[in-house]
Structure 1
Amino acid sequence: MLEYRTEGFQGYAVKYSPFFDNRIAVAAAANFGLVGNGRLYLLELTTQGIRPVKWYPTQDALYDVTHSESHSAHLLTSSGDGSLRLFDTNLEPTFPIATFSEHSREAFSCAWNLTAKSTFASSSWDGTVKIWNPERERSMLTLPTHSCTYSAQWSPRDEGIITAVSSDSHLRLWDLRTPASASNHLQLQIPLHAAPMSASANSARPQPTFPPNEALTHDWNKYRSTVIAVAGVDRIIRTFDIRQPAGPMQLLQGHEYAVRKVAWSPHAADLLLSASYDMTCRVWSDGGGDGKGGPGGMMPREMGRMGRHTEFATGVDWCLFGAEGWAASCGWDERVCVFDARMLMG
């Protein structure tokens, strides 16, 4: 395992480059993101360990970072002052090449369109998701959620489909290819606290009930194009199939505190990583996601955990290249960890 110290700044998000297998971006904040500055790190994995390539100071905390899907040197951050900043790591100045300022509260997530590659999205505590083009100063579209929105993600298959999870315990899906009409492209609004599909299918069993809870993170499965994992304050990771929105397919339980980040593997259809306020990063299998276990009869389960963080683990991401298991995490202990998830699974 490799480690790097973001001294004086607590990590909020970590992201592998889609162009280079040895580059990682980290969004961090001073004073745990409550007040003060932020810092964007570009790190490189070398035979001597992790070394910083560049770092960029910001006037407010950074909560998320993503790489451009069309330019290998561009990094996008979301900030506590509601702004989004685009940096070019090929340039010497530490100033952003573009700033996008429309959110009225903290911009908590940003995500680049994985298929169209010419747009990105942001979500904010102001109750909106915004769609942007990096060449335009103003947003192209605003999608209201009317609640604090912690995470927005593009579908990895369909360029016009975007989802978000919010403090009102709902997963929303918009299809931007449809007429806006009165629904603002909204196609689905799934209650996250609904009873699992397996329970509702068997009325002989008592159906579990869950109170509404804040959803903090979600991610699309990279192989099953209709499956999404969602997690948040109640410590449970839920998987949904948008073709059957009545309730979750699987409940992955084990974290002791809120789950801050989930990420599906780019190499295996059933594996996902999670980072939690219980200071662990865990590897899970959803068993294949059909609600009855996988083709070999495997049931959802925890595969292993990484417990090197000594404060909240807030970010986790998979490497897209090379051996199918390398991952990175960050946390409030000012640590960035790079580890092999296959070692956690034995």
Structure 2
Amino acid sequence: MLEFRTQGFNGYAVKYSPFFDSRIAVASAANFGLVGNGRLYVLDLTPKGIVAEKWFDTQDSLYDLAWSEAHENQVVVAAGDGTIKLFDIALDQFPVQVWQEHKREVFAVHWNLITKDTFCSSSWDGTIKIWSPHREDSLVTLPTHSCTYSAVFSPHSPSLLSSVSSDSHFRLFDLRTPASVSNHLTLTIPLHASPQGPIAPRFQQNLGAAAPSEALTHDWNKYRSHLIAAAGVDRHIRTFDIRAPGQGPISVFAGHDYAVRKIAWSPHLSDVLLSASYDMTCRVWTDGNGAVNYGGKVLPGGFGEELGRMDRHTEFVMGVDWCLFGAEGWCASCGWDERLLIWDVREFIGGARYGEE
């Protein structure tokens, strides 16, 4: 396990570069993001450990970041003052572009993985905006009418964009549809609705009816284009099949003691999910990879199985990300303990059969 100290700054998000397996960026904030400056760290993994290649200081907290999919040296950050800033690590301290249309804190940014010429942002002001790095104004504004903690493009379609919000709903937008009254909104899933159909008895017996609570994070499965996972304040991670939204959750991952702050599906294995929580742990899960019939019928699901946990953080774990390159277990996590940790999930799984489909 490798460690880097973000001295004086509490980590909020960590992302591996999509171009280099040795480059990592961390978005951080002073005073736990409540007041004060932010700092973007660009770090290199070297034979001598983790070395800070560069850092950029900002006037307000940084809550999220996304590497450009088109330019290896550029990274965009989400700031507490409502701005979005684009930095080029080959240049000096100042951002190469600043956008300010959001009315409140920007809490998430995500780059389009397919077309690579747009990225999105979501804010506490109840909107999602789509941007081009070559335009001064946003391309599209999508209202959610609720504090939106997470917005991401689908890794399978450049036109699909999703979000989860404080109102406990997953929203799917299809930019190919006419804007009209719906503003491209094509699907809404209440994340805490009671399961329906054949999986209902199992969930109702073990989980019961879930009261709505804020959804903080979600992610698309990298191999199953219909599968998403969402999590938040109620400590549970739920997976849904967007082809059959009325069926409710396919599987539920229960085990965290406090809110789940970040989840990420593995880029290597279709059934493996990584989570970070306020309970100071990161956990590795499998959904069994058997809850969905690819003929379109939802089969009985169940509870996700915890494969292992990493508990070396000493404060809230806020960010986690998988390495896209090399061995399938390497990942990074950051938290309010001012530490970035690089670790291999296989070291924390014990006797579990990790990696087998």
d(CA) in 1 for partners of 2:290 and 2:220? 13
Q: Provide TM-score, normalisation by structure 1.
A: 0.96
Corresponding residue for residue 343 of structure 1 = 347
1:304 has 2:308 as partner: yes
Please show how residues 244-263 of structure 1 align to structure 2 within 5 Å.
Answer: 244-246=244-246, 247-263=248-264
Corresponding letter in the other structure for 2:270: A
1:182-232 Cα offsets, whole Å, 9 max, x none, are 100000010000123566554996582111110000000000011111000
1:93-152 Cα offsets, whole Å, 9 max, x none, are 100000010000000000000111000000000000000011001000100000100000
Range that drifts further, 306-315 or 280-289: 280-289
d(CA) in 1 for partners of 2:51 and 2:196? 47
Q: Once the 2 structures are TM-superposed, how far is the Cα of residue 316 of structure 1 from its aligned partner? A: 0.1
Which secondary structure state, in structure 1, belongs to the residue aligned with residue 102 of structure 2? coil
Corresponding letter in the other structure for 2:209: T
Asked if the contact 1:199/1:205 (under 8 Å) is kept, the reply is no
d(CA) in 1 for partners of 2:337 and 2:290? 34
1:283 has 2:284 as partner: yes
d(CA) in 1 for partners of 2:210 and 2:201? 18
Corresponding letter in the other structure for 1:155: S
Q: Once the 2 structures are TM-superposed, how far is the Cα of residue 290 of structure 1 from its aligned partner? A: 1.6
d(CA) in 1 for partners of 2:198 and 2:337? 39
d(CA) in 1 for partners of 2:141 and 2:171? 14
d(CA) in 2 for partners of 1:22 and 1:145? 37
1:235–1:299 distance in 2 versus 1, CA, 3 Å: closer
Corresponding letter in the other structure for 2:231: A
Output the aligned Cα RMSD: 1.8
Which secondary structure state, in structure 2, belongs to the residue aligned with residue 262 of structure 1? strand
d(CA) in 2 for partners of 1:3 and 1:61? 22
Corresponding letter in the other structure for 2:228: I
Unaligned stretches of 5+ residues in structure 2: 294-298, 351-357
1:4 has 2:8 as partner: no
1:315 has 2:319 as partner: yes
1:155-203 Cα offsets, whole Å, 9 max, x none, are 0010000000000000000000111111000000100001235665549
Corresponding residue for residue 87 of structure 2 = 87
Corresponding residue for residue 333 of structure 1 = 337
Asked if the contact 2:87/2:95 (under 8 Å) is kept, the reply is yes
1:75–1:204 distance in 2 versus 1, CA, 3 Å: closer
Corresponding letter in the other structure for 1:62: L
Asked if the contact 1:196/1:250 (under 8 Å) is kept, the reply is no
Q: How many residue pairs align between the two structures?
A: 342
Asked if the contact 2:122/2:150 (under 8 Å) is kept, the reply is yes
d(CA) in 1 for partners of 2:267 and 2:195? 26
Q: Once the 2 structures are TM-superposed, how far is the Cα of residue 331 of structure 1 from its aligned partner? A: 0.1
Which secondary structure state, in structure 1, belongs to the residue aligned with residue 35 of structure 2? coil
Which secondary structure state, in structure 1, belongs to the residue aligned with residue 84 of structure 2? strand
Asked if the contact 1:197/1:249 (under 8 Å) is kept, the reply is no
Corresponding residue for residue 127 of structure 2 = 128
Asked if the contact 2:281/2:313 (under 8 Å) is kept, the reply is yes
Q: Provide TM-score, normalisation by structure 2.
A: 0.93
Corresponding residue for residue 193 of structure 1 = 192
Asked if the contact 2:130/2:140 (under 8 Å) is kept, the reply is yes
1:69-101 Cα offsets, whole Å, 9 max, x none, are 00000000000001000000111x100000010
1:29-71 Cα offsets, whole Å, 9 max, x none, are 0000000000000011111111100000000000001100000
Corresponding letter in the other structure for 1:101: Q
Please show how residues 96-135 of structure 1 align to structure 2 within 5 Å.
Answer: 96-135=95-134
Which secondary structure state, in structure 2, belongs to the residue aligned with residue 210 of structure 1? coil
Asked if the contact 2:252/2:303 (under 8 Å) is kept, the reply is no
d(CA) in 1 for partners of 2:203 and 2:264? 34
1:265 has 2:276 as partner: no
Which secondary structure state, in structure 2, belongs to the residue aligned with residue 31 of structure 1? helix
d(CA) in 2 for partners of 1:280 and 1:310? 9
Corresponding residue for residue 225 of structure 2 = 225
1:151 has 2:155 as partner: no
Which secondary structure state, in structure 2, belongs to the residue aligned with residue 102 of structure 1? coil
Please show how residues 208-219 of structure 1 align to structure 2 within 5 Å.
Answer: 208-219=208-219
Corresponding residue for residue 38 of structure 1 = 38
Corresponding letter in the other structure for 1:213: S
d(CA) in 1 for partners of 2:303 and 2:107? 34
d(CA) in 2 for partners of 1:167 and 1:8? 29
d(CA) in 2 for partners of 1:198 and 1:253? 21
Unaligned stretches of 5+ residues in structure 1: none
Which secondary structure state, in structure 1, belongs to the residue aligned with residue 245 of structure 2? coil
Q: Once the 2 structures are TM-superposed, how far is the Cα of residue 261 of structure 1 from its aligned partner? A: 0.1
Asked if the contact 1:198/1:291 (under 8 Å) is kept, the reply is no
Asked if the contact 2:203/2:302 (under 8 Å) is kept, the reply is no
Corresponding letter in the other structure for 2:96: I
Asked if the contact 2:195/2:203 (under 8 Å) is kept, the reply is no
